[in-house]
Amino acid sequence: MATSVGAPRHAGPAARGMVRSLLLTLPIVLWSLVMFFHPGTSTEWQSRAAATVTAVFMTVLFFMMMRTGTTYRWRRWFFVALGLLFPVGFIHGLLVARGSMGIPVEEMIAGRTPFCFMPIPTLILPAAFTRTIAFPGSIAGTNHGIAVMAGLWLAVTLVIGKGWCSYACFFGGIEEGVAAIPKRAEIRKIDSRWRYGPWAVLLAMVLLSFALFEPAYCIWLCPFKTVTEYVAARNAVGLVQNAIFILLFVGLVIVLPYLTKKRTQCSFFCPFGAFQSIFNKTSIFEIRIDRTRCKSCVVCQNACPNLSLSKESIARGETLMSCMKCGACVDACTNHAAVWHIKGTDVAVKPERARLMFLYAAWAMAVMFGGSIIAQGVATILHFVG
């Protein structure tokens, strides 16, 4: 919290020279080579070409982060690509495996429902009290198995905490892409109470999932069922479920992000995001506001895509716990008061060092997880084009 008096202060994000930027990018080049071209990867030309394109894409974005000293807009390119290409590869996989995006009851009974990270918080109570996973998947299965996704989530969360929502989530990119389209927000005043929306949905889904012993969020509320897989509508209930998915997707992922220029599904609704906020407390990296530089202009608050800054939090020199470390506030602050920070160190003394350390960790995760999904999506497109 304290800012040491007399310490050399940060002068703001500065562009780096070409050579220095290249040197700083070198570890990511090596990491990308290991992640995309390790032994055992597919030798089909589509997969090779997709891996090459993705490796270059991820490396160039990191290079630009180093060169320009800014984070948000380069990360956004990755995140939007992830959000758009995940459904491409995933839906193609479903169509090949079962010929439909709908989950038939046979697949549920066989334990072949793909498991994503979204229902993780709602499965904890049933697992803790009855040692039962209330999800029709398989625990040890290698393809979308519950243990594989849970292990991946635990490992990535250990490294970047709530940064998951900016560097690993394969859903948020769609709304972030839509929010980037308009030049100005049509709706600029958003009631701060909407921030509690994800917590309310989380509480309701955790209790409902425990009471009904089913992944209630997946069955009733997940907007992204619209672009992944959905409950095969066998009856009126199924039709209602699918209508809810589509309405939530159109409202929260398309219309509201366009009108507000915010990630509204994440800000108002996502229970996983609320759950993941808890891990901001365990993460060593954070974003802080240097009160000695802050002019209370709230540019950072307006720039935040996730309502993670308020006047009160700015006055305290910190973000809210929902901050997903996208870097929008840091890049937007003209006074260089919003800074990357390592807990325990002095605020704003060496923020670029904090940014670099965080970005190496976060981008390593982005290349490993998101990069593989992007490559799969590109390979699918090449498969159809070629």
Partner 1 sequence: MKLRSALGYTAAGATVLAAVLVPFLLMGMFSKGVVALGLHVDEMYSGGPALRVIQEGAYTITIHRTVYPHMLQNEKPFVQMDWGPVSALPARVSDVVDIDGDGRPDVRVSFGVPSDAKAPLHVDVEALSGRYEAMQNAGKEKNSRLIVHVDNSILVRVPLRNP
Two tokens, residue 125:
């109570």
Q: Compare residues 198 and 327 and give the one whose CB is closer to partner 1.
A: 327
Angle 131-119-251 (CA atoms, 0-180°, nearest 5)? Answer: 160
Torsion over CA: 352, 353, 356, 362 (sign)? negative
- Neighbouring residues of 332: CB distance < 8 A, sequence distance ≥ 6: 72, 299, 300, 302, 303, 338
User: What amino acid occupies position 318?
Assistant: E
- Neighbouring residues of 235: CB distance < 8 A, sequence distance ≥ 6: none
**DSSP 8-state code for residue 135:** S
Q: Which of 53, 150, 185, 332 binds partner 1 (CB under 8 A)?
A: 150
Candidates 81-89, 181-189, 211-219, 299-307; binding stretch for partner 1 (CB under 8 A): 211-219
Ordered DSSP codes for 330-346: HHH-TTS-EEEEETTSP
Q: Compare residues 81 and 120 and give the one whose CB is closer to partner 1.
A: 120
User: What amino acid occupies position 76?
Assistant: R
Q: How far apart are CA 185 and CA 226, in angstroms?
A: 25
Residues in 97-126 at the binding interface with partner 1, rule: CB under 8 A: 105-106, 108-111, 126
Task: Please return the burial class of 180, using the count of CB atoms within 10 Å of its CB with bins 0-12, 13-18 and 19+.
Answer: middle
Residues in 240-259 at the binding interface with partner 1, rule: CB under 8 A: none
- Shortest distance (Å) from residue 15 CB to partner 1: 24
Q: Compare residues 254 and 284 and give the one whose CB is closer to partner 1.
A: 284
User: What amino acid occupies position 152?
Assistant: L
User: Quick check: 2 binds partner 1 (CB under 8 A)?
Assistant: yes
Q: Compare residues 74 and 369 and give the one whose CB is closer to partner 1.
A: 369
Q: Compare residues 249 and 358 and give the one whose CB is closer to partner 1.
A: 358
Q: Which of 131, 183, 184, 189 binds partner 1 (CB under 8 A)?
A: 131
User: Quick check: 166 binds partner 1 (CB under 8 A)?
Assistant: no
Q: Compare residues 3 and 302 and give the one whose CB is closer to partner 1.
A: 3
User: Quick check: 135 binds partner 1 (CB under 8 A)?
Assistant: yes
Please report, as ranges, the residues that interact with partner 1 according to CB under 8 A.
Answer: 2, 4, 31, 35, 105-106, 108-111, 126-127, 130-140, 146-148, 150-152, 154-156, 158-160, 210-214, 234, 284-285, 342-346, 354, 357-358, 360-362, 364-365, 368
